[in-house]
Structure formats: structure tokens, C-alpha cells
Amino acid sequence: MTTSTTATHADKKTELTVDDITVIDSKLLKRAVGAAALGNTMEWFDFGVYSYLAVIIGKVFFPDASSTAQLIASFGTFAAAFLVRPIGGMVFGPLGDRFGRQKVLAFTMIMMSVGTFCIGLIPDYESIGIMAPILLLVARLVQGFSTGGEYGGAATFIAEYSTDKRRGFMGSFLEFGTLGGYLLGATLVTAMIALLPAQAMLDWGWRIPFFLAAPLGLFGLYIRLKLEETPAFKDHMDKQDALEHARPRLGLLPMLNKYKKQLLKCIGLVLVFNVSNYMLTSYMPSYLTGVLGLSELTGLLLVMVVMFVMMPLTLLWGHWTDRIGRRPVIGLGALGLVLFAIPCFMLIGSGNMLAVFGGLVVLGVLHTCFSGTMPATLPALFVTDIRYSALAIGFNLSVSLFGGTTPLVTAWLVDTTQNVMMPAYYMMGAGAIGLITVFTLRETARKPLSGSSPAVATHAEAHKLIDKLRKQRHKKQPVPQMSAR
């Protein structure tokens, strides 16, 4: 069981006791992390499939366009889903803060699965004409709407279930699931391209990965329905129930106004995180084949190998941020983009396979500085009663404006300017914004979440924490002075 008791006193200045500390059951924590990461795996399975099938999807749904226009149209449909993500965040975030994280995450899992599965059912352009790309767009909008409540909820869920000392490591499993889902989708598409004739892939093969969303979604839904609500949320609701007059919930606009500084920090962090992410995972396969002229299979395999390298590094950074802090790691990644984006793209553009791989690996390593830290850093920006709402809105607004549009914007920039270095300049700008944002952050590693009680792994650790706090308090107390009469 997860032991979580709240203070019976209303005075916040009263000394903290063992009963005020949340003790997290390790088995429930592992289940919570796995269930939350599974949703991200499902989401990025779709992204991996769509990114690696972008050229084929362009041919199926936009057959009359040129190859470049097909790719841009395919990425345009991909990017359109990001326009509704903030709307999804505005809907699912407040629901998660009101009714619980677990219930909303179960519902978003259903919507994601349905949207992905339906893409595989859509007839091609030759069969139903203009309705084909319209239905593709509708399915992507359903995916985008559901995803608007997914990442913010999953990050909140893991952060609120984790102990203060290991929140970075546990949170990094969310992005481990991201890379795993992407890799699963990419591996499946690559294997099919290698095994199936090109015409068979174009006729029906591309549909198979989307059909797999149904069993994956059902399994994820089953796991999430078995979870308990997070200790932090239950404590918050218990405190609300204990008050004679519960604090009124902030409306959307008052919340945005009250927490605008935290939201701006969230947007800045998500910008550098997701520009790096979508550049590497969504745009790079098409860049390698369509712009640099590598074979399709070679480009796919190179990015997949880099994903393998990134997976353990993401967990390693998550572990180390619990020791050295979140800010140094994020700052290192942002500075690295500013300094090494151009050299990396020069290596990638050289045509030498070893140099191409080296450039991709450096970009991948820099990205893990973000993927290993953001799931723990972002939820810590906000207090418990608005955490899901604020994170869902801030995250999705930034992703919609800057992250998800990265493949479309960079493809357009390269085509317009005929400068293959445009992606590097784009990443440098994102890195500069990330650096500026890092300087405004306070360190949150090994500290309780805002508005939540300390969270530890054992009752013994709770007693040690109380003893430590008492010693610190006694050291800070001033020596009593005799009053002069």
C-alpha cells in the first residue's frame, strides 16, 4: 500500500511530523511508472511509424503532387495534429486536476488507440479522392486532441508517485518509453520495407503498423485501470475535504495569469526539448533520404541505431540529475546545441557513413540531456492543485508552436533556401532559448514537489528526515537575548 497521511492541523507553521510525510510503496511506484510510460510508448509508436512512412503516406494520399510537395503535405498533416494539442490540454488538464490523474489517463489511452487504428482503415486517394486526405487529417486531429492530455498527465503521475530522492530517475522512464515506442514503430516499418516489395508496401503494407495500435491500446488501458490515484493528489483532495470551505478552483484565465512566469519557463524548456526531439526523430529520416540522397533503408537504420544509444543514456541522465541537479544537465544540452549543431550537420552532410553516424550520435547524446531531466523538471514548476492543467497547457502550447512544426518548417526552409544547414540554425536558436530559460529556474532535485509533502521510500527514511529537519531548525534559531530594563 501507499502510505500517505496529511496533517490534521491547519497551521502551516506547525512543526512537520512523521505523519505528514508520504511513504511510497516500491511495487506501486514501479507499476505507476510502467503504466504512465506505456502511454508514451503508444504515442511515439505512432510517431515512429508515421515519420518512417512519411514518403509512402505522401504517395498514397497526395499522388498528384511532386515528391517534395508530397513530403511537405505529409508532414503538414502530421503537424496539423499539434494545432489541437493545446485544446486537448485545456480539456483534459482541468479534468485531471478535478477528478484525478488516473481516470483521465485511461481515457486518453482509448482515444489515441482509436485515432491511430483509424488511419489504417482510410482508403487511398485513388479510391475516394479528396476525402482520403481529409479523413487522414481528422484521424490525426483525434490523436492530437488525446495527446494533449497524455504527456502532462503521465509526467504528473510519475512525479507525484516518486520519492523526492529518485524523481529524476523514475521520470526518465517516461522518455525511455518514448524512445522505445519510436524504435518499435521504426523497426517494424524498416523490416517491412526490407521484406516487402515496394508496390506491396504502397498498396497495403503501410496499413499494418497502424492496425497494431488496437491491441497495444487495450493492453495499456487494462494496466492503467488497475492503478491507484497518486498520493499527492489524494492528499490534496483530503485537505480540501477537511476544510470547511474548500478553496475555489482557479478558472483557466486566472490560472494562466497567476502562474504566467512558471508557464513561460515551461514553454521555454519544452521548446528546446521538442525541437531537438522532433528534428532527430521525425525529420531526420526524411532529411537523410530526401535531401542528402542516402538510400531509404540506410537512413532508417542510422536513426534507429542512434535511438538504441539514446535509451540507456536517458536513464543515466535521470539518475545523475538526482545527484547533481536538473539545471546543470539541461544547461549542458542547450549549450551543446548552440556549439555543435553546425559541426554535426556538416558531418551528416559529408556523405561518409562514419561521419554521418558520428553527427547523429552527438545530436542524440545532447537530446538525452533533456529527455532524462524534463519529466521531473516540468511537473516541479507547478503546485498540486493545478499541476496537470498548467503542465498540459504549457507543454502542448510549446509543442504545437515550435516542436511538432519542426519537420514541416525545416523541410520548407531547406526547400525554399536550398540551404541544407537550415536545420542546424533552427536547433541553435532553440538551444539559445533553452539556455536563457535554465538561468531562471530554481533547482528542484531531491526536494518535495510544490504544494506537496515530502515523499520517501521507507518509514525509517521518514524518521531520518524529521531528525534532519529538527537539527537544521535548531541551528537556525537565534540565541535568546535578555531584555534591558
Higher-confidence residue: 477 or 262? 262
- Residues 129-134 have a mean pLDDT of 88
Higher-confidence residue: 221 or 434? 434
Alpha carbons 96 and 333: distance in angstroms, whole number? 31
> Terminal CA-to-CA distance of the chain, rounded, Å?
59
**Cα dihedral sign, 176-179-185-189:** negative
pLDDT digits (tens, 9 = 90+) for 360-378: 999 999 999 999 999 999 9
Alpha carbons 287 and 248: distance in angstroms, whole number? 50
Has residue 45 got a pLDDT over 60?
yes
Grid cell in block for residue 414 = 531547406
Has residue 249 got a pLDDT over 90?
no
pLDDT at 248: 58
Q: Which domains does the chain have, with CATH numbers?
A: 20-231+260-469 (1.20.1250.20)
Indicate the pLDDT class of residue 1, thresholds 50, 70 and 90. Answer: very low
Percent of the chain whose predicted confidence (pLDDT) is above 70:
92
Has residue 469 got a pLDDT over 80?
no
Has residue 356 got a pLDDT over 50?
yes
8 A C-beta contact, residue 375 and residue 68: no
- Chain centroid to CA 331: how far? 18
What lies within 8 Å, CB to CB, of 283 at 6+ separation is: 51, 75, 406, 407, 410, 411, 423
Q: If we measure between CA atoms, which residue out of 285, 286, 282 comes closest to residue 67?
A: 286
Indicate the pLDDT class of residue 247, thresholds 50, 70 and 90. Answer: low
Has residue 9 got a pLDDT over 70?
no
Alpha carbons 215 and 291: distance in angstroms, whole number? 36
- Residues 270-297 have a mean pLDDT of 84
pLDDT at 5: 41
Q: If we measure between CA atoms, which residue out of 360, 362, 366, 277 comes closest to residue 330?
A: 366
Amino acid at 358: G
Has residue 341 got a pLDDT over 80?
yes
pLDDT digits (tens, 9 = 90+) for 93-117: 999 998 888 889 989 888 888 888 9
pLDDT at 291: 77
pLDDT at 154: 92
pLDDT at 169: 97
Alpha carbons 285 and 304: distance in angstroms, whole number? 9
Percent of the chain whose predicted confidence (pLDDT) is above 90:
38
